[in-house]
Structure 1
Amino acid sequence: MTQLRFGIDLGGTKIEIIGLLVQDETSGTNTSEIIYQKRIDTPKGDYTATVLAIRNLVLDAENTLNSSSKYSANLNLPGLVGVGIPGSISSKTGRVKNANSVCLIGEDLQGDLQKVLKRPVKLANDANCFALSEATDGSAQGEDIVFGVIIGTGCGGGIVVNGQILNGINAIGGEWGHNPLPWIADTDIAMDCYCGLQGCNETFLSGSGLQKHFKQRSQQSLTVQEIVALAAKGDKAAQQQMNDYITWLAKGLASVINVIDPDVIVLGGGMSNIESLYTDVPKVWQNWVFSDEVKTKLVSPKYGDASGVRGAAWL
């Protein structure tokens, strides 16, 4: 069986579409090939223009592929459409909530896209899409329980169980970023979070959180990359900051392991590029996991920044 799936990553600054040609999906092999890819700027603060931009991306992709002698014979048009969004769908209203692209909040994005595309459209949180991508044919392929982590500008996550997103009755499954950092030490400073609370995981584990904590410690405003480089050169303040970060991440992930006991945790987002996390965090998370051993694996994403849009296609 050959099937064309369109995945769309709707971000605050860009909208990306891929055409994923899936073969033999029913056999469980999930053989796939990206046969189309395009990226445009997101219309700033304009909901209607955003809906129309997504429609045009899908229709242009179908027209391009349908006119291609290489693929036209294998396509089953119209293609299926999945969209990863920077928020979630309220189970109460069916409309977008918790979106950092505020023009989406309160809108019936799924319904409006289905009207303009004249087909079913599936939506999911972008962190859920990341987790689904890595669980389907990425670093966690074949695993039963997968926790996908996004640690970049913010801190989010998604849970996939037996190949299905665990969305939850409140549509917030995996949203560990706004749980408090557990087992907080006396020397840890709980900063205010934009959600209105204090000491959330996001304020410690996001890239911006790391920068704020380092500035408070050293009075230096540096990027994450600069802090990591300083630590590698032996700078004491940077080394202590990175040691603290490893402890914070280990605690945060240990609390997740204690609840859902995943086979694999996949890190995504800008912070996932720090290679030492994959060795150093598992060395210490045993201190907070309620088990005599920890078999959970901590891995990097197979598809990196492309996991979100691929996961949207797998919806």
Structure 2
Amino acid sequence: MRLGIDLGGTKIEVLALGVDGRELLRSRIATPQGDYPATLGAITTLVRQVEGELGCRGSVGVGIPGALSLATGLVKNANSVCLIGKPLQQDLENRLERPVRLANDANCFTLSEAADGAAAGARLVFGVILGTGVGGGLVWNGQVWPGANAIAGEWGHNPLPGETEAPPCYCGRRGCVETWLSGPGLAADHQRAGNPALSPEQIVAGAAAGHPACEATLQRYEARLARALAGVINIVDPDVIVLGGGLSRLARLYERVPRLWGAAVFSDSVSTRLVPPRHGDSSGVRGAAWLWGPDGAGAAG
């Protein structure tokens, strides 16, 4: 049995997969806010509850909103800041009394969609998370590609080209892609344009209802997403880009963004496909489970 843990900013989810990849059990709880010891306890409790209910022990893979430093083994680049600088892998291994594999949550999402999701069969897949934050992951021939510094796919902390403003980012820089293309970034852009404060969901609903200000905000968002992804295409040239996160549910992105990105891609044509996820919100936790091979030994990344 393989257990996948999706450690998110608002919820922790566990998924148990059988040796044949069949889903056995799923459970979730709220993430303790800003409390590292409580987060360790919550993950440990979830694993023990699932194993107790199913009556067997499993391998454990964890998707985290950050990465492990190759220099120190400590968590870095996490938007759940209570994890930063913590020995999360070691602490979980000590509590669970077994090896634990950790990977960036966007890498887990991409691995799931490349394995049997929207990008199945593609050689090079770039996965995108458009949610509370903006992340990315790379999978090459079915393997997570973490990179020499364990930051492959972190396009969310590149500056967005073509902007005169540079909103502050939690990472300490300004003008990052995340400050424009995350859910909070979309809401902030709408308000900066002189509009009342609205949630991303309200902006999307307003545009669908024909409100000009909301439509203008979404058009700015689409143009920015196109420019940002064009930079990815110019450097990585993936076969498929899969969108995840709450904003991936915006169906118009899949038609409009590819129309716009060609102007910034260094090619006379662009064959990269932009697709929605097949497994939706389940991809992160499924990918975490697949960090271990079918027999609990083979690495997926």
TM-score, normalised via structure 1 length = 0.88
- After alignment, is 170-179 or 223-232 more displaced? 223-232
Size of the aligned set, in residue pairs, is 291
Indicate which of 197, 204, 216 corresponds to 2:180: 204
What residue number does 2:83 align with?
Answer: 104
- After alignment, is 236-245 or 121-130 more displaced? 236-245
State the Cα distance separating 1:98 from its structure 2 match: 1.8
What residue number does 1:11 align with?
Answer: 8
CA distance in 1, matches of 2:11, 2:132: 16
CA distance in 1, matches of 2:110, 2:51: 27
What residue number does 1:302 align with?
Answer: 278
What residue number does 2:54 align with?
Answer: 65
State the Cα distance separating 1:219 from its structure 2 match: 2.8
SS in 1 for 2:282: helix
Query: Sequence identity of aligned pairs in percent?
Result: 58
State the Cα distance separating 1:207 from its structure 2 match: 1.4
- After alignment, is 144-153 or 9-18 more displaced? 9-18
- In structure 2, do the counterparts of structure 1 residues 176 and 36 end up closer, same or farther at CA, with 3 Å as the change threshold? same
State the Cα distance separating 1:46 from its structure 2 match: 3.1
What residue number does 1:226 align with?
Answer: 202
CA distance in 2, matches of 1:199, 1:192: 6
- In structure 2, do the counterparts of structure 1 residues 197 and 46 end up closer, same or farther at CA, with 3 Å as the change threshold? closer
Which protein shows a greater Rg? 1
- Cα RMSD, aligned residues only: 1.6
- 1:1-315 equivalences in 2 (<5 Å): 4-23=1-20, 32-66=21-55, 77-182=56-161, 184=162, 189-315=165-291
State the Cα distance separating 1:117 from its structure 2 match: 1.8
SS in 1 for 2:202: helix
* Residues 218 and 237, structure 1, Cα contact 8 Å, conserved in 2: no
State the Cα distance separating 1:225 from its structure 2 match: 2.0
SS in 2 for 1:218: coil
CA distance in 1, matches of 2:196, 2:32: 35
- In structure 2, do the counterparts of structure 1 residues 194 and 289 end up closer, same or farther at CA, with 3 Å as the change threshold? same
CA distance in 2, matches of 1:237, 1:62: 51
CA distance in 1, matches of 2:34, 2:192: 33
* Residues 195 and 213, structure 2, Cα contact 8 Å, conserved in 1: no
Which stretches in structure 2 are left out of the alignment for 5+ residues?
292-301
TM-score, normalised via structure 2 length = 0.92
